[in-house]
């Protein structure tokens, strides 16, 4: 029962993150949604590392990488803001074609 409870939390987080990625247009908010998906993966990796610790070790590496990703991402968002001077045009149609 308790396993199911962790799985549900992680699935809920990944679905919420995906909904954000699909519908939102603001780059910082999309970055937030991506972080939610990464957290969902980390819950799986940590909670189910009963047989070996690899999952927990992996999760700690994922945390480090996602911090690096946010760092680069925010640098680019700030640079775009500096070029355009207006947040309103800074919408990305990332998932549109």
- Smallest separation (angstroms) from other proteins to the CB of 14: 6
- Smallest separation (angstroms) from other proteins to the CB of 89: 10
- Smallest separation (angstroms) from other proteins to the CB of 35: 7
3-state secondary structure of 31: helix
Q: How far apart are CA 7 and CA 46, in angstroms?
A: 11
Q: How far apart are CA 80 and CA 26, in angstroms?
A: 13
């Amino acid at each position: 029962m308790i396993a199911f409870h962790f799985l549900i939390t992680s699935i809920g987080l990944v679905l919420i993150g995906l909904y954000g990625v699909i519908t939102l247009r603001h780059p910082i908010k999309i970055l937030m949604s991506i972080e939610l998906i990464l957290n969902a993966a980390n819950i799986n990796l940590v909670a189910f590392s009963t047989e070996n610790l690899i999952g927990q070790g992996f999760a700690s590496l994922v945390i480090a990488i996602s911090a690096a990703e946010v760092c680069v991402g925010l640098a680019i968002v700030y640079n775009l803001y500096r070029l355009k001077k207006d947040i309103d045009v800074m919408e990305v149609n990332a998932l549109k074609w």
